[in-house]
């Protein structure tokens, strides 16, 4: 059977689930936020990676309903962690849907979720059509008190020009720059410079993909605001967030 049809059914019948990956202070001891990451546990094929079903969802338009399911579930789960911010990935197609902001607002009001705790993560692909409406949409989201993060920063073609034009609240440095710390002599200079740039522009800076003590200790010497990666915690089910907080403290 066709995978798109199965994905439709998965959305409607709760075969999707969310895991949450903590983002900590740079000393790694206090959790500040969690990023929601969707999982599909297929009844016969087993776990299917979002790296393969998100593109399928984007091609078929299912991303809109899938994304609303993610937002609703994440806002409900995160009611348990009133002290934490919640980051949710939003596909460019979902972001550009004409009803996206209304639907987002109605999920916030239905779940009673404080918009100031929500951060949406978009990649620079959201701008790929050079649509001036995107800037207005970003601003409308921010006017609701929701923060906007630029995800995977540094992997695209024109990252710097987007920073100049769009008022992001948060910069998530792509994990490739962190992975390079051990192997490339220039990586630490580039990473340090990106962090200072984010700082100078008044953004919160998140380093993702921290896998080693060496990477974590480098970042402790910078002005980075949050760390995320397997070294601190893998993504975990909602029930385990409390345990992770105790382990890190
Ligand atoms: O969690 P994992 O590393 O397997 O995610 C793979 C990719 O899928 C990442 O690029 C991540 O941003 C994306 N992804 C995970 N969850 C979501 C989601 O809920 N919505 C969207 N649009 N992308 C997601
Ligand atoms: O593109 P985005 O930043 O949303 O991707 C999130 C993805 O990164 C998730 O699929 C998550 O499983 C993965 N991830 C989280 N921490 C690490 C890490 O330390 N190393 C690697 N390689 N991937 C990570
Ligand atoms: Mn992300
Ligand atoms: Na990313």
Question: Tens digits of per-residue pLDDT, 40-54?
Answer: 999 899 999 999 999
Record: fold of 3-248: TIM Barrel (3.20.20)
* Cα 171 to ligand 4 centre (Å): 10
Least Cα distance to 39 among 186, 244, 193, 235 occurs for 235
Task: Supply the residue whose CA is at minimum distance from atom 9 of ligand 1.
Answer: 51
Average pLDDT over residues 46-63: 95
What pLDDT digit, counting tens, does each position of 144-192 carry? 999 999 999 988 777 788 888 888 999 999 999 999 998 888 999 999 9
Query: Rounded CA gap, 105 and 178, in Å?
Result: 35
Q: Which two tokens stand for residue 65?
A: 């309903």
Q: What pLDDT does residue 129 have?
A: 67
One-character DSSP codes across 71-122: HHHHHHHGGG-TTSEEEEE--HHHHTSTTHHHHHHHHHHHHT--GGGEEEEE
pLDDT at 18: 98
Per-residue pLDDT, 132: 81
pLDDT at 157: 73
**pLDDT tens-digit readout, 188-220:** 999 999 999 999 999 999 999 999 999 999 999
**Tell me, what's the pLDDT at 25?**
98
Give the Å distance between the CA of 173 and the centre of ligand 4: 7
189-193: long-range contacts at Cβ-Cβ below 8 A with a sequence spacing of 24 or more?
191/218, 191/222, 192/222
pLDDT in the model for residue 243: 98
- pLDDT category at 14 given cuts 50, 70, 90 is confident
Please check the confidence at residue 128 and state whether its pLDDT lies above 80.
no
| Ligand 2 neighbours by CB, cut-off 6 Å | 21, 37, 89, 151-152, 175, 208-211, 229-230, 235
The bound ligand whose nearest atom lies closest to the alpha carbon of 173 is 4
73 CA to centre of ligand 2 in angstroms = 20
* Ion ligand 3 contact residues with beta carbon within 5 A: 89, 121, 151
pTM: 0.97
- What is the rounded (10 degree) CA torsion for 186, 190, 192, 198? 180
Q: In angstroms, rounded to a whole number, what is the distance separating the alpha carbons of residues 130 and 64?
A: 21
CA–CA distance, 215 with 25 (Å, rounded to integer):
14
| Of 170 and 2, the one with more pLDDT | 170
Q: What is the pLDDT of residues 88-107, one digit of tens each?
A: 999 999 999 999 999 999 99
**Long-range pairs for 209-212 at CB < 8 Å and ≥24 separation?**
209/174, 209/175, 209/176, 209/178, 209/179, 210/178, 211/178, 211/179, 212/182
Domains of the chain, residue spans: 3-248
Mean pLDDT computed over 18-24: 98
What average pLDDT is seen over the chain?
94
């Amino acid at each position: 059977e066709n995978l798109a049809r199965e994905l439709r059914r998965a959305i409607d019948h709760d075969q999707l689930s969310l895991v949450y990956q903590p983002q900590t202070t740079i000393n790694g001891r206090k959790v500040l936020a969690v990023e929601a990451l969707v999982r599909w546990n297929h009844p016969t094929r087993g776990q299917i990676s979002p790296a393969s079903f998100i593109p399928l969802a984007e091609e078929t338009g299912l991303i809109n309903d899938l994304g609303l399911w993610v937002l609703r579930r994440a806002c409900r789960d995160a009611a348990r962690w009133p002290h934490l911010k919640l980051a949710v990935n939003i596909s460019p197609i979902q972001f550009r849907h004409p009803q996206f902001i209304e639907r987002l607002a109605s999920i916030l009001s239905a779940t009673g979720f404080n918009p100031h705790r929500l951060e949406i993560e978009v990649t620079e692909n959201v701008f790929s059509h050079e649509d001036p409406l995107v800037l207005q949409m970003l601003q409308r989201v921010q006017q609701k008190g929701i923060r906007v993060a630029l995800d995977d920063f540094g992997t695209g073609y024109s990252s710097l020009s987007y920073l100049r034009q769009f008022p992001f609240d948060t910069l998530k440095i792509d994990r490739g720059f962190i992975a390079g710390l051990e192997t490339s002599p220039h990586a630490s200079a580039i990473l340090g410079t990106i962090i200072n740039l984010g700082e100078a522009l008044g953004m919160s800076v998140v380093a993702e993909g921290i896998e080693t003590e060496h990477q974590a200790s480098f970042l402790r010497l910078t002005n980075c605001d949050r760390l995320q990666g397997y070294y601190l915690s893998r993504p975990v089910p909602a029930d385990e967030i409390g345990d992770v907080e105790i382990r890190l403290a």
